[in-house]
Structure 1
Amino acid sequence: MTSPTLSAFPTASISQPLSIRNGPRRSTALFTLVGLWLAIYFAALFAPPLLDDADASHANAARHMALSGDMVTLTVNGIRYLEKAPLPYWLDALSFRVFGFNTFAAHLPEAIGVLLLALLGYHWATRAWSSRAGFYAGISILTATGVFLFTRIYIPEVLLSLFLSTALYCLLQASESSKGSYAYVMWTALALAVLTKGLVALVFFFGAAVIYLALTGEYKNWRALKPFSGLLLFFAIAAPWHILAGLRNTGGMNGHGFFWFYFINEHFLRFLGKRYPKDYNKLPGYLFWSLHLVWLFPWSLFFPIAILQGWRQRQTFRAYSNFASRTALLFLVFAVLVLVFFSISTNQEYYTFPVYLPLLALIAAALVRAESTYNEDQRSRHWIGYAHATYTAIGIAAAIALAYGLWSSRNLPFVPDIGEMLAHRGVGDYTLSMSHFFDLTGPSFAALRLPAALAMLALAVGPVIAWRLRSKRQHLASTTTIALTSGVFLIAAHIALIRFAPMLSSANLAGTIRQMEQNRSIAPDTQILLYGDQSYGSSIAFYLGRIVYLVDGRSSSMLFGSTFQDAPRIFLTQDDLLHIWGTGERKILFVPLEKRDDVDKLLGSHKILIKETSGKALFTDRPLDH
């Protein structure tokens, strides 16, 4: 019987030495993967502090769960937060109970999700193609730019990717295996995906599964998927929370409760771009597609190799005669479905995270096939050369730009608060996750010398070494060098993110309030107010561990939950602020940069500045109690 691993390669590749197709030993491969994860992801768990907006808001919901024991209704700053599925918050709540309320605990489940996703990619690609393809798939997942960027804040995409990929893998295994355990794992993973991101998980899985089963004819083996008992298992896992959440959260805006807001508003109306309230943006189509060259960088440089090899293998794929061809078909169907779906729907840059594993695994398999025919196949050799030439050119250009920035800022003093050096252009009104990159200025390099120097060295040296190794036919070493270069660059990027902490997080201002309470400059449990939406300073509520009153902040994620009759009275108008300011107990007002002009007009000189950082300020209504 033909091995699925070898039959996935062109005939020419069989004549190559076995070592060309084989990767490092399993123990070495796993050691390398875990080592990369420790260096890039685990080491990054301790800093920076939780960021404002989604990061601290989601952590706040998990904190409430951990303290209250209410595992059904998500709550942020005392207000119902009904738009999200619960599983990520359950994991965070468990992590908080074990490790305390800190950045490490908040981001640990997500970091573990990255490791498990890489290990799944390694196992799946090894099973489908070869041990080297598996190794390449694993290291590319760990070092792809998008995987790193979109796990710096706590959003559920990496967990959704893990559960959906697990379900798809078990779909393949169950359809050709007599073991019912694969089918039950598939239904379990699908239920967990729904509890992670909602109904979109069903759209992606069943959409891909139906097309795949129809094309391959494996729908005839539908009994192997355990549809009846599997559905019972699925509903036993996924249904209870939805039912309880619906029963416990009724009587909101216009009589609507959880069922309308979660299923209709957050799923169907969001897809149509009519969600209430509209506090999100949409990428233009050309950016949505082309930015995947960035999110999958540096491995996206080998896209042409994947297209070339896929075209050559099209007859093999059409036969669906082995696990490799069926894997390739399922990956393609799933990736196209997700990309087309979010081309039509509203989107954020990270929404297509679930396609990263399929696309990177296909690139890994194509690269291994190209390496195995490197001596005979001139066309593949040229495309690999073009990829390395492009990588080297990008690396040298970036290194020169970084060197120029370092040189131009050589006489500038180091400024710990990088927010003072940024442009604050507000591209996309900061509703797109990458908007802050447009705020960089030349003087900001004074605060970024270490990460800029580290990135400059990696990009100047790594691509050249990888190209040199490739020219010597040391393919495994060359591809590993690309991964290591990307890993060093990502470590530098995380150091840069730490430098941005004063701008992106208000944890230091929360620390100032705690310190003043401890030294009796202000009374314990002083009333804290935040001007604007809670997302502007969500880390203050998290690190203080208490409710923050919102002035002119009944908006975005707070809006629907505030319409329930039992919602705490935390929303104040500008007139309310003027009425209570300077009377009764002390007030401390947090003001984001975006609202400074409004507050200056409203309060004028009737405020005392306590602390200011990156344009964000703490004001009080009377002198401190020294």
Structure 2
Amino acid sequence: MDDVDATQAQIARTMLETGDWVTPRLNGIVYLEKAPLKYWLIALSFAVFGVHDWAARLPIGLGILALGWLTLRMGTWAFGARAGFYAGLVLATSIGLFLFTRILIVDVLLALSVALALWAYLRALDPQEAHPRRWSALMAVSLAAGFLFKGFIGLVFPLAAMGLYALATGQWRQRNFWQRWRPVTTTCLVLSLTLPWFVAATLRNPPYVDFTLTSEPGQYRGFFWFFVFNEHVLRFLGRRYPRDYNTVPRLWFWLSHLVWFFPWSLFLPGVARLRLTRRPATRAEQMTLLAVVWIGFVMVFFSFSTTQEYYSLPIYPAVAVLLGAALTQEGRFQAVGRWLASGVAALAALAAGALLVVNWNTPTPGDIAQALAKSPDVYAVYTLSLGHMGDLTVRSFAYLRVPLALATVAFLVGAVGVHLARGRRAWLAIAGMLTLLLVAARLAMVAFDPYLGSYPLAKALVTAQRTHPGRVVVDNQYYAFSSVFFYANVKGALLLNGRTTNLEYGSHAPGAPDVFLDDDTFAKVWRGPERTYLLVEDVHLPRIEKLVGVETLHQIATSGGKFLLCNQPKVQEEPHLSTQRNLRKVLP
């Protein structure tokens, strides 16, 4: 897809092609905001399997499988085999995990590193554990991986949870705690795995001598200031530069987990029945206490910071383990939870069925973009991960008949199955419902693909460039057509008014390529003798028409409310935009 998804894949591809594994780059511009381990894994996947979209997704996919297995093992170690199985089942069918791993964001790999570090911490402290040094070493490797995935947050989350656990239990006073945890050895191992990249990135992108916590447009202070202060300190304080992100309301950030874990979240009252004590004597008590401080610290941390919907992914394994343990218990809360799950699923089936009936005979010309309500306030809406959900209209569900029908069946399976089933059969009915529901969601994403991505335009550009080579201009920021850069392997494209968001800082670095155009320069380029291709969204097309004249805009392809235009006609040219609009007025 466009935006972050293809951007991350293209950065990894550039690393592989240039051989520079230290400094990420995008369209030739240094991109310093993220740690590199995810890029390294994707680049290695490209090296082995070739540059494909599925190869880019492979590290994330394997990370999800590893996280599911780890959650199962943690639950089994602490609460028994049945609880471990349920914990893995809860995580594997989590709506949140599905939604936030459709794009190449690193947070699920961060969740894996955090969970592995914390479980290794418990195992290293377990007096019955025969090999505490191995678990201590694994903890150190996981901490280092967390830093290389997400920066300092990969260290802060697990270390804070460990510290709170040690304070709550009083173990920090015991001598064997330090002998088993091995803080000196752990620190040395973490530093040996993380410092080489950090030092190399600092030296290759020299820091500015003034380390104040402010920045102004046009200033470039190197890697150290940007990565340490801007991306961590200022982002936490909501003062990061540039301000190209949004934050969800705090209440929604907390309550949304009822949705991300639905309908398993209806059984959360059972977690209150688990024994929580400051003097844990059993593995179950140890895991319960650690999971509580783990979840609590992450959620409180983001309650004082900027938040996106997926920032809480690191707590998913802990939530799943606690729910898995709760599902093995018997009690009134389970009966109430099953009744609620069945009732909500029945209501959801009615709603999905109603949308299906309403749109049964609704025509579906073109793609789904024709029926969506795109918001003009791009920075306020689409800077949230699920911002495009607000574009849905009743008519747009006509393009989603198949996934809507499957979702209706899924909710019916859940409503009837949970109502009739008892005990563990009810959990299998819920898992069946969620499996069908997530398959329906995947099919819906296929229908959304022309709107969220630009693969058809990339294909058309490759075909056009094969016979009529020319330079490429992208209107607005790089992210608007990032999938074109990936699929067409576009290098050095010109960005019209694109010196913004995450490319702005790197654009001021010494030796940065001059790839940015303003309106006046673009008008000269477009009217010049060299063949030029332009990628533009429909909402910005009127501005382009006013700038260069509609008679100069020759359409090559259109998809999902986006256009590929050229300043010169093809041999067998399609009508230019003004002619097409006149045809639309008279043709059915």
Instruction: State TM-score, norm by structure 2.
Output: 0.92
- 2:281 matched residue in structure 1: 321
* DSSP 3-state at the match of 1:254: coil
Q: 1:162 aligns with which of 93, 96, 112?
A: 112
Q: What is the correspondence of 1:167-178 to structure 2 with a 5 Å cutoff?
A: 167-176=117-126, 177-178=129-130
Gaps of 5+ in 2: 209-217, 573-588
User: Is residue 2:518 matched to residue 1:565?
Assistant: no
Gaps of 5+ in 1: 1-50, 371-379
Q: What is the correspondence of 1:190-205 to structure 2 with a 5 Å cutoff?
A: 190-205=143-158
CA positional deviation for 1:189: 0.5
Q: What is the correspondence of 1:183-582 to structure 2 with a 5 Å cutoff?
A: 183-219=136-172, 220=174, 221-250=177-206, 254-307=219-272, 309-310=273-274, 313-314=275-276, 317-370=277-330, 380-381=331-332, 383-415=333-365, 417-425=367-375, 428-470=380-422, 475-518=423-466, 520=467, 522-523=468-469, 526-547=470-491, 548-582=493-527
Letter in 2 for 1:198: G
Cα deviation per residue 1:174-229 (whole Å; 9 max; x = unaligned)? 01235210000000010000000000122111111111011122222112112112
* DSSP 3-state at the match of 1:277: coil
Letter in 2 for 1:331: A
8 Å contact from structure 2 (residues 219, 505) kept in 1 = no
- 1:376 matched residue in structure 2: none
Letter in 2 for 1:240: P
- Residues 388 and 61 (structure 1), Cα distance of their counterparts in 2 relative to 1, 3 Å cut: same
* DSSP 3-state at the match of 1:351: coil
8 Å contact from structure 2 (residues 407, 437) kept in 1 = yes
CA–CA separation in structure 2 for the residues paired with 1:582 and 1:425: 31
CA–CA separation in structure 2 for the residues paired with 1:136 and 1:415: 44
Cα deviation per residue 1:130-180 (whole Å; 9 max; x = unaligned)? 111000000111101100000000000000000110000000010123521
CA–CA separation in structure 2 for the residues paired with 1:384 and 1:230: 43
Q: Which moved more, 1:238-247 or 1:294-303?
A: 294-303
Moved over 4 A (4+): none
Instruction: State TM-score, norm by structure 1.
Output: 0.86
* DSSP 3-state at the match of 1:261: helix
Cα deviation per residue 1:386-425 (whole Å; 9 max; x = unaligned)? 2222222221222112212221222123445111111113
- 2:529 matched residue in structure 1: 584
CA–CA separation in structure 2 for the residues paired with 1:543 and 1:294: 34
CA positional deviation for 1:445: 1.9
Corresponding pairs, count = 553
* Identity within the alignment, %: 39
* DSSP 3-state at the match of 1:623: coil
8 Å contact from structure 1 (residues 145, 298) kept in 2 = no
CA–CA separation in structure 1 for the residues paired with 2:232 and 2:160: 16
CA positional deviation for 1:255: 4.6
Letter in 2 for 1:515: T
CA positional deviation for 1:251: 6.5
- 1:48 matched residue in structure 2: none
CA–CA separation in structure 1 for the residues paired with 2:239 and 2:187: 32
* DSSP 3-state at the match of 2:65: helix
- 2:569 matched residue in structure 1: 623
CA positional deviation for 1:598: 2.3
